[in-house]
Protein backbone atom coordinates (compact mmCIF):
# COMPACT_ATOMS: atom_id res chain seq x y z
CA UNK A 1 0.00 0.00 0.00
CA UNK A 2 1.18 3.54 -0.79
CA UNK A 3 1.97 5.92 2.06
CA UNK A 4 -1.09 7.75 3.38
CA UNK A 5 -1.75 10.91 1.39
CA UNK A 6 -0.33 9.64 -1.92
CA UNK A 7 -2.49 8.79 -4.87
CA UNK A 8 -1.35 5.87 -6.95
CA UNK A 9 -2.99 5.68 -10.37
CA UNK A 10 -3.97 2.39 -11.91
CA UNK A 11 -4.85 1.35 -15.44
CA UNK A 12 -8.62 1.60 -14.98
CA UNK A 13 -8.49 5.37 -14.45
CA UNK A 14 -7.75 6.22 -18.09
CA UNK A 15 -10.11 5.30 -20.91
CA UNK A 16 -9.83 8.21 -23.34
CA UNK A 17 -8.33 8.61 -26.75
CA UNK A 18 -6.82 11.58 -28.56
CA UNK A 19 -8.36 12.34 -31.93
CA UNK A 20 -7.49 15.91 -32.94
CA UNK A 21 -8.62 15.51 -36.54
CA UNK A 22 -12.13 14.22 -36.00
CA UNK A 23 -15.05 16.61 -36.13
CA UNK A 24 -17.54 13.88 -35.17
CA UNK A 25 -17.80 13.21 -31.46
CA UNK A 26 -19.94 10.18 -30.58
CA UNK A 27 -22.66 10.46 -27.91
CA UNK A 28 -21.32 10.07 -24.38
CA UNK A 29 -17.86 11.33 -25.37
CA UNK A 30 -16.54 14.69 -24.25
CA UNK A 31 -14.05 16.49 -26.44
CA UNK A 32 -11.55 18.52 -24.44
CA UNK A 33 -9.12 20.92 -25.98
CA UNK A 34 -6.55 22.39 -23.68
CA UNK A 35 -5.98 26.09 -24.00
CA UNK A 36 -2.26 26.82 -23.86
CA UNK A 37 -1.29 28.66 -20.67
CA UNK A 38 1.70 30.17 -22.47
CA UNK A 39 2.39 30.98 -26.11
CA UNK A 40 4.85 28.08 -26.32
CA UNK A 41 2.50 25.47 -24.86
CA UNK A 42 1.04 22.94 -27.26
CA UNK A 43 -2.72 22.70 -27.67
CA UNK A 44 -3.96 19.17 -27.13
CA UNK A 45 -7.31 17.81 -28.22
CA UNK A 46 -8.67 14.87 -26.24
CA UNK A 47 -11.85 12.87 -26.25
CA UNK A 48 -12.82 11.42 -22.89
CA UNK A 49 -15.31 8.67 -22.28
CA UNK A 50 -16.85 9.83 -19.03
CA UNK A 51 -19.76 8.23 -17.28
CA UNK A 52 -21.69 10.26 -16.39
CA UNK A 53 -20.95 12.83 -19.14
CA UNK A 54 -19.12 16.01 -18.20
CA UNK A 55 -22.11 18.27 -17.62
CA UNK A 56 -22.71 20.87 -14.89
CA UNK A 57 -25.16 18.62 -13.02
CA UNK A 58 -22.65 15.74 -13.05
CA UNK A 59 -19.60 17.62 -11.76
CA UNK A 60 -20.39 16.75 -8.11
CA UNK A 61 -20.57 13.05 -9.07
CA UNK A 62 -17.13 13.20 -10.72
CA UNK A 63 -15.81 14.91 -7.58
CA UNK A 64 -17.32 12.23 -5.33
CA UNK A 65 -15.83 9.51 -7.52
CA UNK A 66 -12.29 10.90 -7.18
CA UNK A 67 -12.78 11.28 -3.41
CA UNK A 68 -13.68 7.58 -3.23
CA UNK A 69 -10.88 6.55 -5.61
CA UNK A 70 -8.25 8.50 -3.67
CA UNK A 71 -9.41 6.92 -0.40
CA UNK A 72 -9.54 3.40 -1.87
CA UNK A 73 -6.26 3.57 -3.76
CA UNK A 74 -4.04 5.31 -1.25
CA UNK A 75 -5.98 6.31 1.83
CA UNK A 76 -5.96 10.00 0.85
CA UNK A 77 -8.68 11.90 2.68
CA UNK A 78 -10.29 14.53 0.49
CA UNK A 79 -12.91 16.27 2.63
CA UNK A 80 -13.97 19.22 0.42
CA UNK A 81 -12.17 21.67 2.69
CA UNK A 82 -10.08 24.47 1.16
CA UNK A 83 -7.09 22.97 2.97
CA UNK A 84 -7.50 19.76 0.94
CA UNK A 85 -6.40 21.70 -2.16
CA UNK A 86 -2.86 21.16 -0.85
CA UNK A 87 -3.41 17.39 -1.08
CA UNK A 88 -4.74 17.73 -4.64
CA UNK A 89 -1.61 19.70 -5.55
CA UNK A 90 0.56 17.00 -3.94
CA UNK A 91 -1.23 14.26 -5.88
CA UNK A 92 -0.90 16.11 -9.19
CA UNK A 93 2.75 16.90 -8.39
CA UNK A 94 3.25 13.16 -7.84
CA UNK A 95 1.85 12.46 -11.31
CA UNK A 96 4.21 15.09 -12.71
CA UNK A 97 7.22 13.60 -10.90
CA UNK A 98 6.39 10.21 -12.42
CA UNK A 99 6.41 11.78 -15.90
CA UNK A 100 2.68 11.32 -16.41
CA UNK A 101 1.11 13.51 -19.09
CA UNK A 102 -2.32 15.12 -19.18
CA UNK A 103 -3.30 12.57 -21.78
CA UNK A 104 -2.22 9.71 -19.49
CA UNK A 105 -4.39 10.84 -16.59
CA UNK A 106 -7.04 12.99 -18.30
CA UNK A 107 -10.09 11.47 -16.63
CA UNK A 108 -8.53 11.62 -13.18
CA UNK A 109 -7.43 15.21 -13.77
CA UNK A 110 -10.96 16.16 -14.86
CA UNK A 111 -12.32 14.53 -11.70
CA UNK A 112 -9.78 16.37 -9.51
CA UNK A 113 -10.82 19.59 -11.28
CA UNK A 114 -14.45 18.82 -10.44
CA UNK A 115 -13.38 18.25 -6.84
CA UNK A 116 -11.68 21.68 -6.71
CA UNK A 117 -14.78 23.17 -8.33
CA UNK A 118 -16.92 21.63 -5.62
CA UNK A 119 -14.72 23.33 -3.02
CA UNK A 120 -15.41 26.62 -4.83
CA UNK A 121 -19.17 26.07 -4.91
CA UNK A 122 -19.36 24.94 -1.29
CA UNK A 123 -17.11 27.58 0.27
CA UNK A 124 -17.39 30.63 -2.00
CA UNK A 125 -20.77 30.07 -3.61
CA UNK A 126 -21.70 29.83 -7.23
CA UNK A 127 -22.63 26.95 -9.45
CA UNK A 128 -21.40 24.77 -12.28
CA UNK A 129 -22.37 26.10 -15.72
CA UNK A 130 -21.66 25.32 -19.34
CA UNK A 131 -18.63 27.26 -20.56
CA UNK A 132 -19.49 30.23 -22.77
CA UNK A 133 -19.69 29.49 -26.48
CA UNK A 134 -16.95 32.09 -26.96
CA UNK A 135 -14.47 29.54 -25.57
CA UNK A 136 -15.26 26.37 -27.52
CA UNK A 137 -11.67 25.18 -27.20
CA UNK A 138 -11.85 25.01 -23.42
CA UNK A 139 -13.28 22.51 -20.95
CA UNK A 140 -17.06 22.53 -21.44
CA UNK A 141 -17.98 23.40 -17.85
CA UNK A 142 -16.91 26.16 -15.47
CA UNK A 143 -17.85 27.39 -12.00
CA UNK A 144 -19.69 30.68 -12.06
CA UNK A 145 -19.20 32.58 -8.82
CA UNK A 146 -21.26 35.47 -7.46
CA UNK A 147 -20.73 38.55 -9.57
CA UNK A 148 -20.70 36.45 -12.77
CA UNK A 149 -17.03 35.55 -12.33
CA UNK A 150 -15.99 32.37 -14.09
CA UNK A 151 -13.48 29.94 -12.68
CA UNK A 152 -11.89 27.07 -14.56
CA UNK A 153 -10.85 24.54 -11.90
CA UNK A 154 -10.41 21.69 -14.39
CA UNK A 155 -7.97 23.85 -16.37
CA UNK A 156 -6.17 24.66 -13.11
CA UNK A 157 -5.51 20.98 -12.44
CA UNK A 158 -4.25 20.33 -15.99
CA UNK A 159 -2.07 23.45 -15.67
CA UNK A 160 -0.60 22.18 -12.40
CA UNK A 161 0.39 18.93 -14.09
CA UNK A 162 1.94 20.71 -17.07
CA UNK A 163 3.67 23.60 -15.30
CA UNK A 164 4.14 22.35 -11.74
CA UNK A 165 4.27 24.86 -8.91
CA UNK A 166 4.08 27.74 -11.41
CA UNK A 167 0.33 27.03 -11.42
CA UNK A 168 -0.81 27.15 -7.81
CA UNK A 169 -4.33 25.81 -7.43
CA UNK A 170 -4.25 27.18 -3.87
CA UNK A 171 -3.46 30.71 -5.15
CA UNK A 172 -6.10 30.49 -7.88
CA UNK A 173 -8.66 29.46 -5.27
CA UNK A 174 -7.57 32.34 -3.07
CA UNK A 175 -7.80 34.78 -5.98
CA UNK A 176 -11.34 33.56 -6.62
CA UNK A 177 -12.29 34.82 -3.19
CA UNK A 178 -11.60 31.80 -1.05
CA UNK A 179 -8.93 33.43 1.10
CA UNK A 180 -8.98 36.85 2.69
CA UNK A 181 -5.22 37.13 2.08
CA UNK A 182 -6.08 38.04 -1.52
CA UNK A 183 -9.02 40.46 -1.05
CA UNK A 184 -8.48 42.52 -4.23
CA UNK A 185 -7.88 39.69 -6.69
CA UNK A 186 -11.11 38.81 -8.45
CA UNK A 187 -10.08 36.83 -11.51
CA UNK A 188 -10.21 33.11 -11.77
CA UNK A 189 -8.04 32.54 -14.85
Contact (Cβ atoms closer than 8 angstroms) between residue 161 and residue 106: no
Contact status, residue 175 vs residue 138, Cβ threshold 8 Å: no
pTM to 2 decimal places: 0.74
Model pLDDT, residue 140: 87
Distances from the Cα of 111 to the Cαs of 43, 67, 77, 157, 186, in angstroms?
A: 20, 9, 15, 9, 25
pLDDT > 60? residue 137? no
Using one digit for the tens of pLDDT, what is the confidence trace for 46-96? 667 778 889 999 999 999 999 999 999 989 999 999 999 999 999 999 999
Q: Which domains, ranges and CATH numbers included, belong to the chain?
A: 52-178 (1.20.120.1090)
Query: Which has more pLDDT, 20 or 176?
Result: 176
Amino acid sequence: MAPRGTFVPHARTTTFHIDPGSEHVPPGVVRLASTPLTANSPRTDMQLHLNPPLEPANAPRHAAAIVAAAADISGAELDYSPESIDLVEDIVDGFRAEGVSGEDMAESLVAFGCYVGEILTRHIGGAWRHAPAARPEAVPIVVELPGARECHPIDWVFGRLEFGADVSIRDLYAAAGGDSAFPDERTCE
